Amino acid sequence: MPEQECITVAIIDHDKDFLENCLASLRKESDIEVCTSHLLTNILKDTAASEVGKDIYRYQPKVILICQKVLREVAAVDLKMIFRMRDAFPQIRTVVTVEHYTEEAAMILIHEGVRGLYRRELGPTQIVSCVRTVAKGDVWLDAYLIGRIVEEFSKLYKHIDSLRPPTKNHEAKLSLLSHREMEILRLIAKSYTNVDIGHRLFISEKTVKTHIKNIFEKLGVRNRVEAMLVLIRSGLAGQ
C-alpha cells in the first residue's frame, strides 16, 4: 500500500492553553505534522506577527487553524493581504476557531473560502477529525453549527456580499455614532448576536436591529463584518 500523505498544519492563536491543547492532540497522530505554530496576543503590537506570513509562504501547510480574534485583527489591518495569500495558495485550507459568532459572519467566512468553523468550547476533542475532514477537501462544521446555519441559510444568503476592506473614510465616520451605537458596535466586533446584545444592554432585539441599521448607514458599510473591521482597525474596539 502507498504511504499515507502527511497532513501539514499551521496553528495561529491568541490563547496559550488552547494552542497547546491543540498541539498535544495533533502531535499524537502519525499522519499529521504541525509545521509551525504562533501565539499572537495582539497582532497590532506583537513583533512575532511578521513571522506568520513568512512561515505560511515557507511551509505552505495543507491546513491552517486560525482563531477568530487573530483573523479579525489581521483583516482590519490588511484585508487585501488575506485575499492575496488565499489566491496565491489555493491548495491551503483554512479553519477558523470561533467563540461568539453569528450565522451571517459564518456564512461570509465560508463564502470567502474558509473550509471549517471549529467552536472553541469543544476544546481539542474534535480538532483531529476537523483537520482530516478539511484536508481531504470537505467542509467541517459540527452538528450544532450545521443546525444553526442551515436554519438561517435561505434568509441570510441573499444579503451576503463579498467583503470590502475598511478605509480611512469609514473610520472617520465613527465620530457620527452615538454612545449607544458605539456600545453595540463593540459588541458586534466581539461577534455577539442581536439577542445577546439586547440581553447585555437591557434593550429589545428590535431596538438592537434599529441601532445596527443606523450604524451601517452612518459608516457606509453593508454588513456586520465590515462594521466590525472598521472598529478594529480604528483601534477603538477595546475602549
User: 226 is in which domain, residue-wise?
Assistant: 168-234
CB 225, CB 174: distance < 8 Å: no
pLDDT tens readout for residues 18-34: 999 999 999 999 999 99
Residue found by looking up cell 461570509 in the block = 108
Does residue 150 share a domain with residue 184? Answer: no
- Of residues 213 and 85, more confidence is placed in 213
Looking at 157, 188, 206, which one is the last position of a domain?
Answer: 157
Please indicate, yes or no, if residue 45 is contained in any of the structural domains: yes
Does residue 193 share a domain with residue 134? Answer: no
Res. 153 pLDDT band, cuts 50 70 90? low
The number of domains in the chain is 2
Tell which residue, 179, 224, 183, 177, has the closest CA to residue 200: 183
CB 97, CB 45: distance < 8 Å: no
What residues form DSSP beta bridges with 39? Answer: 13
Nearest-angstrom CA–CA distance, 87 and 160: 21
Please indicate, yes or no, if residue 140 is contained in any of the structural domains: yes
**What pTM value is reported for the model?**
0.70
pLDDT tens readout for residues 160-216: 566 778 888 888 899 999 999 999 999 988 878 888 899 999 999 999 999 999 999
Residue 50 has pLDDT above 80, yes or no: no
Res. 51 pLDDT band, cuts 50 70 90? confident
What CATH code is carried by the domain that includes residue 177? 1.10.10.10
Nearest-angstrom CA–CA distance, 185 and 211: 9
Does residue 182 share a domain with residue 143? Answer: no
